[in-house]
Amino acid sequence: DVKVTQSSRYLVKRTGEKVFLECVQDMDHENMFWYRQDPGLGLRLIYFSYDVKMKEKGDIPEGYSVSREKKERFSLILESASTNQTSMYLCASRTTTGNTDTQYFGPGTRLTVL
Amino acid sequence: GDSVTQMEGPVTLSEEAFLTINCTYTATGYPSLFWYVQYPGEGLQLLLKATKADDKGSNKGFEATYRKETTSFHLEKGSVQVSDSAVYFCALSDRGKDGNKLVFGAGTILRVKS
């Protein structure tokens, strides 16, 4: 089974702090994704990565950056956290092998910025 | 751009009732369609998918049929259980030039009471 893990389930940070959210997948997937989930808005794509050291902006990249130095790890960085970044953050991965569009999700990190 | 519209919730049903959650989409081309489920405190899990018109996806008693003529992918279950209480997300795979990204609906909360 595909396993996607996220470093924290719950995180509380203060405005202005630098925040790192880590995601690790164990299935050698090429593609990885960061979403945020907010009530009534569903999931919105922040950034994604096709492969190591490759990254592309999603629909709402402002205030975020990412890093993918190793294939299994995709980090989301909030350079200076703000209260409007309080949300649930979900990481996902996907293989490009075969004809499949399925993404596999981690359990999520609920971030609160005070 | 591509988009997904789901019926608003919450949907509250008694155990053994029939479930329908409506989902319609707009897309250029021929996307794959998905239903994901999120149980309380967890990440998203793939529930079912369909990759072309008239395909029926099914899993755990849930079904959805890819209807190209009505651009719909409604989720149905004949007899719901309390354990089906969760948030359900309809999504499509945007097969753009940048690879496959998922576009999600806002999600529908389902509450099943005994």
Please indicate whether, in this complex, the C-beta atoms of B45 and A103 are within 8 angstroms of each other.
Answer: no
**Contact between A101 and B107 using a beta-carbon 8 Å cutoff:** no
Residue A85, classed as helix, strand or coil, is: helix
Cβ contact (<8 Å) for A42 and B104? yes
What is the distance in angstroms between the Cα of A13 and the nearest Cα belonging to chain B?
A: 20
Mean pLDDT over residues A35-56, rounded?
A: 92
Q: How many CB pairs under 8 A join A and B?
A: 56
- Give the closest residue to A66 by CA, choosing from A86, A82, A84, A45: A45
Tell me the C-alpha distance between B94 and A79, whole Å: 29
What one-character-per-residue DSSP string does chain B give? --EEEE--S-EEEETT--EEE-EEEE-SS---EEEEEE-TTS-EEEEEEE-STT-EEEETTEEEE-BTTTTB--EEESS--GGG-EEEEEEEEEEETTEEEEEE---EEEEEE-
pLDDT of residue A40: 85
Report the pLDDT value the prediction gives residue A101, as an integer from 0 to 100: 73
Minimal-distance CA residue of chain A relative to B95: A101
Pair B32, B92: CB distance under 8 Å:
yes
Of A33, A56, A106, the CB nearest to B43: A106
Pairwise CA distance, residues B75 & B80, whole Å:
12
Write the single-letter amino acid at A48: F
Chain B residue numbers with beta carbons less than 8 Å from the beta carbon of A40 are: 106
- Taking the C-alpha atoms of residue A84 and residue A60, their distance in angstroms, rounded to an integer, is 12
pLDDT at B41: 83
B90: left (phi over 0), alpha (psi -120 to 50) or beta: beta
The CA distance from A113 to A84, in Å, is 8
Q: Are B100 and A50 a contacting pair at CB < 8 A?
A: no
**Average pLDDT over every residue of A39-49:** 91
Which of these ranges, A23-27, A46-50, B53-57, B99-103, has the smallest mean pLDDT?
B99-103
Answer whether residue B98 shows pLDDT above 80: no
Contact B89 A48 (CB under 8 A): no
Position B28 confidence tier, pLDDT thresholds 50, 70, 90: confident
Q: What is the pLDDT of residues B42-70, one digit of tens each?
A: 889 999 999 889 999 999 999 999 999 99
Name every residue in B having a CB less than 8 A away from some CB of A.
4, 32, 34, 36, 41-46, 49, 51, 89, 93, 95, 98-102, 104-107
Contact status, residue B48 vs residue B34, Cβ threshold 8 Å:
yes
Cα B111 to Cα B97: distance, rounded to the nearest angstrom: 39
Identify the residue with better confidence: A66 or B27: A66
The string of pLDDT tens digits covering residues A66-94 is: 999 999 999 999 999 999 999 999 999 98
Residue B103 has pLDDT above 80, yes or no: yes
